[in-house]
Amino acid sequence: MKRTLNIDTIKKINEQILLKGWVHSIRTHGKITFIDLRDATGLVQVVFKGALDLKQEYIIEVIGEVKKRPENMINTEIKTGTIEIKADTINILSKAKPLPFPIDGDGYEINEKHRLKYRYIDLKRERLKNNLQKRFETISLIRNTLKEKSFIEIETPILTKSTPEGARDFVVPSRNFKGLFYALPQSPQQYKQLLISAGFEKYFQIARCLRDEDPRGDRQPEFTQLDLEIAFPESQDEIMNLIEKLFIKIVKELFEDKYITKIPFPKMTYKEAMEKYKTDKPDLRKNKNDENELAFIFITDFPMFEWKKEHNKWGAMHHPFTLPQEKDIDKIKAHPGNILAYQFDLALNGFEIAGGSLRTHNVSMLEACFEVMGHSKEEIKKQFKHYFDAFEFGIPPHGGIACGLDRFFAIAFNEKSIREVIAFPKTGDNKDLMINAPDKISKEQLKELGLK
Ligand code: ASP
pLDDT-based confidence at 215, cuts 50/70/90? confident
Q: What confidence tens digit (pLDDT) does each residue in 103-135 have?
A: 999 999 999 999 999 999 999 999 999 999 999
Q: Which protein residue has the closest C-alpha to ligand 1 atom 3?
A: 402
CA dihedral 406, 411, 213, 182 (to 10 degrees): 10
Tell me, what's the pLDDT at 51?
A: 83
Q: Which protein residue has the closest C-alpha to ligand 1 atom 8?
A: 401
Q: What confidence tens digit (pLDDT) does each residue in 216-235 have?
A: 778 899 999 999 999 999 99
Q: What confidence tens digit (pLDDT) does each residue in 252-298 have?
A: 999 999 999 999 999 999 999 999 999 999 999 999 999 999 999 99
For residue 163, pLDDT beyond 70: no
Distance (angstroms) between ligand 1 centre and the Cα of 344 equals 10
Taking the C-alpha atoms of residue 195 and residue 191, their distance in angstroms, rounded to an integer, is: 6
Tell me, what's the pLDDT at 310?
A: 87
Amino acid at 143: R
pLDDT-based confidence at 375, cuts 50/70/90? confident
Rg (CA), the chain: 27
For the chain, the straight-line distance linking the first and the last C-alpha, in angstroms and rounded, comes to 59
Provide the β-strand partners of residue 21.
Answer: 60
Nearest to 132 by CA among 438, 411, 409: 409
Taking the C-alpha atoms of residue 386 and residue 383, their distance in angstroms, rounded to an integer, is: 8
Could you tell me the sign of the dihedral formed by the alpha carbons of 318, 322, 323, 329, in that order?
positive
Tell me, what's the pLDDT at 37?
A: 98
Distance (angstroms) between ligand 1 centre and the Cα of 145 equals 21
Q: What confidence tens digit (pLDDT) does each residue in 40-70 have?
A: 999 999 999 988 899 999 999 999 999 999 9
Q: How much of the chain exceeds pLDDT 90, in percent?
A: 90
Q: What confidence tens digit (pLDDT) does each residue in 306-360 have?
A: 999 988 999 999 999 999 999 999 999 999 999 999 999 999 999 999 999 999 9
Neighbours of 340 (CB within 10 A): 17
Nearest to 143 by CA among 207, 93, 58, 50: 207
Q: What confidence tens digit (pLDDT) does each residue in 173-193 have?
A: 999 999 999 999 999 999 999
Nearest to 196 by CA among 235, 230, 164, 226: 230
Distance (angstroms) between ligand 1 centre and the Cα of 2 equals 49
Q: What confidence tens digit (pLDDT) does each residue in 407-422 have?
A: 999 999 999 999 999 9
The angle formed by the CA atoms of residues 170, 172 and 177, to the nearest 5 degrees, is 145
Average pLDDT over residues 145-157: 98
Taking the C-alpha atoms of residue 240 and residue 245, their distance in angstroms, rounded to an integer, is: 9
Taking the C-alpha atoms of residue 153 and residue 143, their distance in angstroms, rounded to an integer, is: 8
* Residue 252 near residue 294, CB atoms below 8 Å: no
Tell me whether the omega of the peptide bond preceding residue 264 falls within 30 degrees of 0, making it cis.
Answer: yes
CATH numbers and ranges of domains, the chain: 6-94 (2.40.50.140), 116-302+341-361+396-421 (3.30.930.10)
Tell me, what's the pLDDT at 164?
A: 66
CA of 400, closest atom in ligand 1: 8
Q: Which protein residue has the closest C-alpha to ligand 1 atom 2?
A: 402
* DSSP code for 333: H
Q: Which protein residue has the closest C-alpha to ligand 1 atom 5?
A: 402
Q: Which protein residue has the closest C-alpha to ligand 1 atom 1?
A: 189
Nearest to 291 by CA among 431, 414, 163: 414
Phi, psi of 148 (to 5 degrees): -60, -30
Tell me, what's the pLDDT at 391?
A: 93
Indicate the average pLDDT of the chain.
Answer: 95
pTM of the model: 0.95
The DSSP secondary structure of 4-37, one letter per residue, reads --GGGGGG-TT-EEEEEEEEEEEEEETTEEEEEE
> What residue ranges line ligand 1, CB within 6 angstroms?
165, 187, 189, 355-357, 400-402
CA of 189, closest atom in ligand 1: 1
Distance (angstroms) between ligand 1 centre and the Cα of 355 equals 6
Distance (angstroms) between ligand 1 centre and the Cα of 222 equals 15
Nearest to 414 by CA among 295, 285, 292: 292
Higher-confidence residue of 164 and 240: namely: 240
Q: Which protein residue has the closest C-alpha to ligand 1 atom 7?
A: 356
